[in-house]
Amino acid sequence: MEGPLQTSVHVCNENGQWMSQLPEKLWDIPLYNLALPGSHDTMTYCLDKNSAVSGNNSKLVKFLNKCMPCIVHPIIMKWSTTQVLTVTEQLEAGVRYLDFRIAHKANDPSMNLFFVHMVYTTVTVQDILWEVLRWLEAHPQEVVVLACRNFDGLTKKLHCHLIAYIKEIFQCKLCPRNVVPTLRTMWQCGHQVIVSYEEDVEVEQHCELWPAIPYWWGNKTATRALIQYLERMKQMGRPEKFFVAGINLTENLRYILVHPFGSLKKMTLQSLPCLKIWIKQQYPGRKKDCINIIAGDFIGNNDFVKDVIELNTKINSPLHCQSKGAGTNSVSFSA
């Protein structure tokens, strides 16, 4: 395991400390007004090929997988895997938003929690939280947003269990939600982790938890349709604080049937050239049409992370984003 990990990290570690290298003029801007690279369905690089399908899948998927596992299960794996880099490699590559879909396996008497996307992961949530902590300790000026979502099969008791682990592992590195999270403030206070928790009742009870971060999910199979969706969302106006523009395409049954030899990776790689153009046109900041987090699949491809980080060079002052010309560039898409 050590060999492949080191080789892959060596390839993409140029962005491992990009936050600490930002110019001082950006240190007092809230993180929700900067451009942050994110990974969609962060943990799918370690899906368990022997796993049962998760509890929140449709009855049809469960039935087909039970009747024809040799056919259906490989298809599920091809269209569920959205990342190939490990969580440490993603952080080294510059990703600062991690999309954690958390689940408890049906009929599992233990308190173990896993990540999920159609099927469960081979690693537990607890193990990955410790892995993130180790990385943060080696990068004391980097800040990570952890979006805890989905919560398939979690009871009140399991929520309490998970939150207790989050507090135990990150301790004072957790940034309370009443703090305006600028880099300068985070560094001065020793905060490195913002935990977004998609369960309002729990958020109200714990000041260390932030509300669910809105995710602009286009649910599109075509690149052009996805970009049109994102532009419509921008016209409606960005949320006040953190939000995610998801550049991830989404398959449906018709698309899978038309592309029997396809996969989510092939689908994604074909879309990246057009999405790269769209990303480069964006501006971070607090104005209506500015962006914040941009999350994608297979984040190690096509300079995605680098392109998002470089958007921060467009910010000219701590008070506003320079949006002159934003949204006026015309791009021709054939996808």
What does the pLDDT read at residue 51? 85
Long-range contacts of 4-12 (CB under 8 A, 24+ apart): 5/86, 5/88, 5/89, 8/85, 8/86, 8/89, 9/88, 9/89, 9/92, 11/300, 12/85, 12/89, 12/92, 12/93, 12/94, 12/300, 12/305
Candidates 73, 104, 117, 159; catalytic one? 117
pLDDT at res. 322: 42
At 153 the pLDDT is 95
Helix (H) or strand (E) holding 215: strand 215-216
pLDDT along the chain (335 residues), means of 10: 35 80 97 98 95 62 50 84 98 98 95 96 98 98 98 97 98 98 98 98 98 98 98 97 98 92 96 97 97 98 95 76 42 37
pLDDT of 62: 43
Helices 125-138 and 156-170 cross at an angle (nearest 10°) of: 20
Q: Is 40 a catalytic residue?
A: yes
Distances, alpha carbon 116 to alpha carbons 157, 216, 294, in Å: 19, 20, 21
Quote the CA–CA distance of 157 and 163 in Å, as a whole number: 10
Separation CA 280–CA 245 (nearest Å): 14
Give the span between the Cα atoms of 204 and 98, in whole angstroms: 22
Distances (CA, A) of 84 to 3, 5, 78, 251, 297: 16, 11, 12, 18, 9
Told to judge if 73 belongs to the known catalytic residues of this protein, a careful annotator would answer: no
Given this model, what pLDDT does residue 69 score?
A: 54
Separation of alpha carbons 238 and 180, rounded Å: 18
> Residue written as tokens 């899948």?
57
322 within 8 A of 283, measured Cβ to Cβ: yes
CATH code at 25-314: 3.20.20.190
| Dihedral-angle region of residue 107 (phi above 0 means left; psi in -120 to 50 means alpha; beta otherwise) | left
What single letter denotes the amino acid at residue 253? L
pLDDT of residue 14: 77
Per-residue model confidence (pLDDT) at position 33: 98
Pairing of strands 193-197, 293-296: unpaired
The 10 Å Cβ neighbour count of residue 334 is 6
Q: Where are the chain's structural domains?
A: 25-314
Please pick, among 40, 73, 104, 159, the residue that the annotation labels catalytic. Answer: 40
pLDDT score of 57: 52
pLDDT at 7: 33
Least Cα distance to 311 among 275, 289, 272, 279 occurs for 279
CA dist., res. 127 & res. 5, Å (int): 17
